[in-house]
Each structure stands twice: as structure tokens, then as C-alpha cells.
Amino acid sequence: MTSTAATSTTTSTAPVTATPEDRALKQKHAAMWAFGDYVAVADELVGSLGEALVAAVGVRDDQRVLDVAAGSGAAALPAARTGADVVATDLTPELVEVGRRRSQAEGLTIDWRTADAEALPFADAEHDVVLSCIGVMFAPHHQLAADELVRVLAPGGRLGVLSWTPAGFIGQMFAAMKPFAPAPPPGASPAPLWGDLDHVRGLLGGRVERLEAQQATLRVDHFASGAEFRDYFKANYGPTIAVYRSLAEQPERAAELDAALADLGDRHLTDGVMEWEYLLVTAHRA
């Protein structure tokens, strides 16, 4: 659908999960993605992935589209440019506000909401298309998040999820940080598992059909060295910042992580270019 009047609204709903521990975890996650400058990461490194996801799903102007864990709008904005009726949600209010301002600046009508991917504030089958671009993968309880993606999708509607793979560069970065990070809470799953096709098939089960998947890489030519990559992520990327903050009283361990991340970056640089692997999955709700 198209609109002649550009408007943008923001609605907040508190994350709703089963236990106080889960609610505390969601508050921690929301704060983590406000560390540093994720908007810079999206703009300078990964923003094109949203356009790739919207194109793969084939968003049209007559569709009701939901972008889950939308960040600052990498997928929501190109979806809205098609004329579709778009709602975008994210757990982090600061990112929602950036996305709201950007859609207004472009004259796009997007309904921005602060919401938990594991407890979406929508009725069953409310959307024709549900998207998530390197977003829902970071919800800690994968099955809950997958259940919500399917629940709010209309029968025959199209689902599109793009995630970093475990074996790709970002998956390896998380593996490198894991020994230095606090232990995850019980029941939380590693984010890059959303980039494993068998895992995604298991999450969605028989509730979807015509599932298709493609592995591809994002070309990143932003860094001249592994140390430059490390320093950029230390300054801008919430999960990396959170790990370093946990090592504030352990300078020797922080130095070990410095070396590990710089080495990882150097091993993946070829003539100033990195290739970051991702998995793009599309399916229709049965």
C-alpha cells in the first residue's frame, strides 16, 4: 500500500517473558545494543543485507510487513520504499528512535515499536511478510522467537530471515570471544545457530513449506588490518563492548582477547577485503 502523507509512530511495549530472570536478561540485551554505535556498524558495514533480504522475499506494495529485531531499519526502510505497510520492532529503544527519525527523514510511513522478539505484541496471522535481518538470531531463546515469527505470519505469508553462520567470520568472532565472556544464562542458545540450516529447519518444523536457503558472503573492505577491525568493534559493536567491560578488572585477559581478535581479523583479510558469510532463509507459512 502507498501513502501520500508520511508519518511515523512509536509505540513501546515492555518485554514479556516467563520469569524475572528472563526479563532481567532482556533488559541487559537491550542495553548492550545501545553500547557504542551500532548505527555506524549498520551504515558502514552491513546495511546492504537488509536490501538483499527484502529483494529475496519479494516485498510488494500491497503487503503488511513486520521487521523483527529491526535495529535502525536495514530491512524496514527498503521494505517501506516498496510502498508496503511496514511495522518495525526492536528490543532497544535507542535503535527504534534512530529508525523512526530515518523513516521520517525519507518521508516513509513506518510504525516503530519497542518490543521483544520472543513475545511480539501482535495478533495471530496479522502480517503477510515477516522479516529479520541479523536481528532475531540474537534473541536468547531460539524456539520462542521462531514460534513468534510463525505465529504472527498469515497462512501463505512469506518469512525471510538472514543470519550470520557459525563457520563464517562473525560466527568465528563470537567463538573467539566466548572464552572471555560471562557464561550465558541457562536456556540461551548461541546466536550463530540461526545460520545453520538444520537448526532453522528444526525451529520452524512443519509449520512452513517451500523453505529455501542460500549461503552468501558480504564483502567488507573497511579494515586495513586485524587490529583495525578489533578496535572498530571494541568501540562500536555492543556484544564486543560487553565482553571487554566484563574484563575491566582483568587486563591480562583483555590483552589476550585483543590478540585473538586481531589475529582473527588478519586471517580473514585478503588484499584489504573480508568475506562475512551469512545464511538467507525464506519460507511460506503452511
Q: Which pTM was predicted?
A: 0.92
Q: Give the per-residue pLDDT at 87.
A: 98
Total number of domains in the chain:
1
Q: Give the per-residue pLDDT at 2.
A: 31
| Across 241-267, average pLDDT | 98
| Across 196-223, average pLDDT | 98
CB count within 10 Å of CB 18 equals: 12
255 lies in some domain? no
234 lies in some domain? no
60 lies in some domain? yes
173 lies in some domain? yes
Here the cell at position 119 is 513475545
Q: Give the per-residue pLDDT at 186.
A: 85
Q: Give the per-residue pLDDT at 6.
A: 40
Instruction: Report strand pairing: 153-164 vs 274-285.
Output: antiparallel
93 lies in some domain? yes
- CATH number of the structural domain spanning residue 185: 3.40.50.150
176 lies in some domain? yes
Q: Could you tell me the maximum CA-CA distance found in the chain, to the nearest angstrom?
A: 58
Tell me the residue range of the domain where 32 lies. Answer: 8-219+277-285
Name the E strands within 35-152. 64-67, 85-90, 110-114, 127-133
